[in-house]
Amino acid sequence: MDLKLLKKEDNKLSFILKGTNYAFVNTLRRIFTTEVPTLAVKNVTIVKNSSALFDEVIAHRLGLIPLKTDLTAYNLTENCTCKGKGCPKCQVSLVLKAEGPLTVYASDLKSQDPKVKPVYGKMPIVKLLKGQELEFEALVTLGNAKDHAKYSSCHVYYRGIPDVSVDSDNKAKQCVKACEGLLDGDSKKLVVKDLLRWNERYEEICEEIGAEIKNSEKDFLFHVESWGQLEPLEILNHGSDILDTKLDEFITLLNKSK
Ligand SMILES: [Zn+2]
């Protein structure tokens, strides 16, 4: 395999992975999206709620707030030393007490652990009119998206690197012109110069001109977009550790069964 990093932003990472196959890139996608854990609100104890929203709606909205996650500080409840009872190593509380008139934002949640806080503080939770009150305690746990989508760490997508071919220099010229500088070459070899900006629209334009597009089944453009709880590199590192652990478990079982 060969890897070339194309773009790295706070919440987004794009790279080319060469010399692999669909099975492997899809394994990575599934592990990154469903098995890398993050913190999210699990249970809410409502003390007072005279807002316009039902308790369930407020609890649902709290569940969808991405929270900054430190994977070294918290355990999955089922793997914790407390054996699932709940302790400071596997759960943390967010509390709120507010009275209208005001809008309650994610940044108003007071956390037991200052490191665990909403990624996007300006997410509105509810508007309170004069005299309306809201008071609750939200219990946050580490979980993964296999159990609930609110624990999802990222969005991952990939595609085979496109190979554009034409049977004449005239068609090649038309394709290069129509693709606004993203494509270069002649009928012998057309190369996509900017894979990050290349999309299906350009493929349709080229196909209308008479080009044939084939997507590679061994070289891929891979994107990871974090929802903000973890940095993309943390997701990749932790996800790779999970895959490693699964393979170790498989070998151990295999050796035991001999
Ligand atoms: Zn615990």
Average pLDDT over residues 245-249: 96
State in Å: Cα 96 to ligand 1 middle.
23
Query: Which segments of the chain belong to CATH 3.30.1360.10?
Result: 2-34+154-225
State in Å: Cα 64 to ligand 1 middle.
23
HSE-up (13 A, CA, CB side) for residue 152: 14
What are 190-239's pLDDT values in tens digits?
999 999 999 999 999 999 999 999 999 999 999 999 999 999 999 999 99
Instruction: Give me the residues paired with residue 38 across strands.
Output: 143
What are 79-111's pLDDT values in tens digits?
999 998 999 999 999 999 999 899 999 999 999
State in Å: Cα 114 to ligand 1 middle.
19
User: Which candidate, 223, 220, 236, 225, places its Cα nearest to that of 32?
Assistant: 236
Query: Which segments of the chain belong to CATH 2.170.120.12?
Result: 39-146
What residues sit around ligand 1, an ion, with C-beta below 5 angstroms? Answer: 80, 82, 87, 89-90
State in Å: Cα 81 to ligand 1 middle.
6
User: Which candidate, 161, 165, 159, places its Cα nearest to that of 216?
Assistant: 161
What pLDDT, on the 0 to 100 scale, is given for residue 228? 97
State in Å: Cα 84 to ligand 1 middle.
6
Residue corresponding to tokens 């693709």: 179
State in Å: Cα 42 to ligand 1 middle.
14
Average pLDDT over residues 122-140: 97
State in Å: Cα 149 to ligand 1 middle.
22
State in Å: Cα 146 to ligand 1 middle.
20
Q: Which residues contact 118 (CB under 8 A, 6 or more apart)?
A: 65, 66, 67, 68, 106, 107, 109
What are 113-126's pLDDT values in tens digits?
999 999 999 999 99
What pLDDT, on the 0 to 100 scale, is given for residue 209? 94
DSSP conformation class of 167: S
Which CATH number is correct for 2-34+154-225, 2.160.10.10, 3.40.190.10, 3.30.70.1400, 3.30.1360.10? 3.30.1360.10
CATH superfamily of 39-146: DNA-directed RNA polymerase, insert domain (2.170.120.12)
State in Å: Cα 92 to ligand 1 middle.
10
pLDDT exceeds 90 at position 181: no
Q: How confident is the model at residue 187 (pLDDT cuts 50, 70, 90)?
A: confident
State in Å: Cα 142 to ligand 1 middle.
10
State in Å: Cα 113 to ligand 1 middle.
15
User: Which candidate, 207, 179, 52, places its Cα nearest to that of 128?
Assistant: 52
pLDDT exceeds 90 at position 188: no
State in Å: Cα 74 to ligand 1 middle.
8
State in Å: Cα 39 to ligand 1 middle.
14
State in Å: Cα 30 to ligand 1 middle.
27
Average pLDDT, the chain: 95
pTM confidence score: 0.89
Residue corresponding to tokens 């993309």: 232
What are 22-77's pLDDT values in tens digits?
999 999 999 999 999 999 999 999 999 999 999 999 999 999 999 999 999 999 99
What pLDDT, on the 0 to 100 scale, is given for residue 48? 97
Q: How confident is the model at residue 258 (pLDDT cuts 50, 70, 90)?
A: confident
